[in-house]
Chains A and B, each alone.
Chain A
């Protein structure tokens, strides 16, 4: 007969729990090994690789047009922006100037992508903190953006609308009206987001002063996007290295000094408003012209190394392509914002409660497929 081993809990023994890979608040298949002492988090260790699909390696056997479709699957909430990053890199390598129309449409699409991504962030962040109603309000408005995508791109989430040199097809004739309608609608309801969550006392108590990253720490850890900007790190690629039509619009870079959960949340709320302003400036001025530059059917990049970064909804996405002159890239590397933003989780969450760990994790707005790639 098997003798049961009797374990005696020691006073100082750490209580280790596995959060994930299937856990409601890890937003996918992230696995956090959390060492607890009572309710207090002693140590957090993220374990990755549960959704690793080898996208970078797969890119080496695909043509540049095909790579686009893989990038959708990295950060699926910024699908359009990921596409754009690869296209910009390829265009940079080929030294192609894309038509003005393409630049405008790409910028509008990117900002719509940013809005819907932040809407989903708001929805899930509210749910992480226990406010279940947020989820439905967030998704209600997000549907409207997805409908716009569906009309022009065919896809709703995984749009694959870009192609090296331009766009897959022209925008739907209804596009401008739909976008304007959406902006009008969303300006009318965005105050509901603040009414439901931002102003709530419990929410503010839960989020203020939690998981603080100072500006120095944010720079040292390479935090980008709203996460970095909430700490005061001015890192908006759209502002500092404008691409597409971002040099033609005026917008505010949202910066806060506090760097806590609440201000990361606030940064995203403000970014939605700024994104609407950007779209406002472009939507009526989309120039006429072709929707794609003349491209050869087989794209071969000249030998060399190319890099381009863009601002996704979560931070800086860098695309690094090494070409040996073939139709396939020799090596592709994505600098994904989520991977970098996840790194200081231990630093932020140490010493806080389990509930805070969930809030901090939520405020980083992690997309796990983007971490593993």
Chain B
């Protein structure tokens, strides 16, 4: 077996072959699924904990503070301490709440984010499932979260929660369109929906550079719309704490609240990861056609570092939005989507189609 941090496909193939050699194909498949599930779950938890910590530090940076600095080196273990606390907090039963839906909602939210995680290409060959409709699949599963949010708001038997759910319903469904359309712009350019092929096509020039102005417009719209889709500031209307106390998760406590909280951060990671894959070349190093020496140096950096680095930069951008902008109002939010983003997006897709037809891109 040859193992390389630049290409995981041989490593995964070796696992597959050795499993199949020793047991029946069905059992091998089941074990593979289990391994992938556990690996993704661990990764999920690490990303969640790290992002909560990162958010605190970024927010402290923006606000002239130090942030957590007591538990562990630089406050590293603060989030773990908080998580442990959340695990032991009582799950407060809510009077007249719809018990089944109430306890189901956090799971829907977290499953939606978990499913999206499986389709992301982290590095060459490091890919749980490479669907030929990858982009479509990601859009589909990431919009499932809204069901959980709506259920949470409805089942809580709380007026603030209901308003929060109502808002997030309108918001996420609207912004889903923009996210979809801006990804379609790139799908038109790439000519495929398979994420591995989209990444492969960006070897010499990421799509944001290759697609001229339409790709840049698509990226800007994507990053704004996906911030809105993940319910983060300045679009955090569903949980606007100065208006609705905590919006749809007002009544949640303990681990159920932790699920919503974690899902928010994972969703942020997922939208940043999709943007990385589609606009910034995924795990591809920054290569320029013809500059052999430069490309060699860039290729030395492992692909998953590239992927996480790009994703991290985008996450920082999204956090930056949250900590500097005041919140929008619901009608302004919908105006922005339906009157500006959607028409611009449609025209943008047409222009992109024209560019591809005439072969103007490089």
Which residues does A use to contact B, with CB under 8 Å?
Answer: 15, 17, 23-25, 36, 38-39, 126-133, 135-137, 140, 196-197, 200, 202-203, 205-206, 353-356, 358
Docked pose: A304 CA to B163 CA in angstroms: 55
Docked pose: A307 CA to B90 CA in angstroms: 56
Contact A131 B243 (CB under 8 A): no
Q: A24-B241, A137-B64, A358-B243 are in contact. Are A202 and B234 (CB under 8 A)?
A: yes
In the complex formed, the residue of B with least CB distance to A34 is: B159
Q: A15-B159, A133-B63, A136-B63 are in contact. Are A203 and B326 (CB under 8 A)?
A: yes
Contact B159 A17 (CB under 8 A): yes
Task: List 18 extra interface pairs beyond A131-B327, A132-B233, A140-B64, CB under 8 A.
Answer: A24-B245, A25-B243, A129-B327, A130-B234, A130-B240, A131-B324, A131-B325, A133-B323, A137-B64, A202-B325, A202-B327, A205-B328, A205-B332, A206-B327, A206-B328, A354-B163, A355-B327, A355-B330
**Proximity string of chain B (142-165) to chain A, C-beta cutoff 8 Å, 1 when within and 0 when not:** 000000000000000001100100
> Taking each of B166, B243, B326, which has the highest tally of chain A beta carbons within 10 Å of its own beta carbon?
B326
Docked pose: A136 CA to B167 CA in angstroms: 28
Looking at chain A's contact residues, the main secondary structure is helix
Q: A23-B245, A129-B242, A130-B242 are in contact. Are A355 and B329 (CB under 8 A)?
A: yes
Q: Give chain A residues whose Cβ lies under 8 Å from the Cβ of B166.
A: 38
Contact B330 A353 (CB under 8 A): yes
Q: Give chain B residues whose Cβ lies under 8 Å from the Cβ of A135.
A: 63
Q: Give chain B residues whose Cβ lies under 8 Å from the Cβ of A128.
A: 242
Docked pose: A356 CA to B327 CA in angstroms: 11
Docked pose: A354 CA to B329 CA in angstroms: 9
Instruction: Return A68 CB to nearest CB of chain B, in Å.
Output: 35
- 29 example contacts (A-B, Cβ-Cβ < 8 A) are as follows A17-B163, A23-B245, A24-B245, A25-B242, A39-B167, A128-B242, A130-B236, A130-B242, A130-B325, A130-B327, A131-B325, A131-B326, A133-B63, A135-B63, A136-B63, A136-B64, A137-B64, A196-B324, A200-B326, A202-B326, A202-B327, A202-B328, A203-B326, A205-B332, A354-B163, A355-B237, A355-B240, A355-B329, A355-B330
Docked pose: A135 CA to B63 CA in angstroms: 8
B65 CB-CB contact with A under 8 Å = yes
B94 CB-CB contact with A under 8 Å = no
Contact A197 B242 (CB under 8 A): no
Q: A130-B240, A140-B64, A355-B240 are in contact. Are A206 and B163 (CB under 8 A)?
A: no
Docked pose: A196 CA to B63 CA in angstroms: 11
In the complex formed, the residue of A with least CB distance to B63 is: A136
Q: Give chain B residues whose Cβ lies under 8 Å from the Cβ of A126.
A: 326
Q: Give chain B residues whose Cβ lies under 8 Å from the Cβ of A24.
A: 241-242, 245
Docked pose: A129 CA to B326 CA in angstroms: 5
B2 CB-CB contact with A under 8 Å = no
Determine which of B59, B163, B329 lies in contact with A356 in the assembled complex, contact meaning CB atoms within 8 Å: B329
> Taking each of B160, B163, B243, B331, which has the highest tally of chain A beta carbons within 10 Å of its own beta carbon?
B243
Docked pose: A39 CA to B159 CA in angstroms: 12
Docked pose: A7 CA to B331 CA in angstroms: 30
Q: Give chain A residues whose Cβ lies under 8 Å from the Cβ of B313.
A: none
Docked pose: A196 CA to B160 CA in angstroms: 29
Instruction: Return B231 CB to nearest CB of chain A, in Å.
Output: 13
Instruction: Return A345 CB to nearest CB of chain B, in Å.
Output: 16
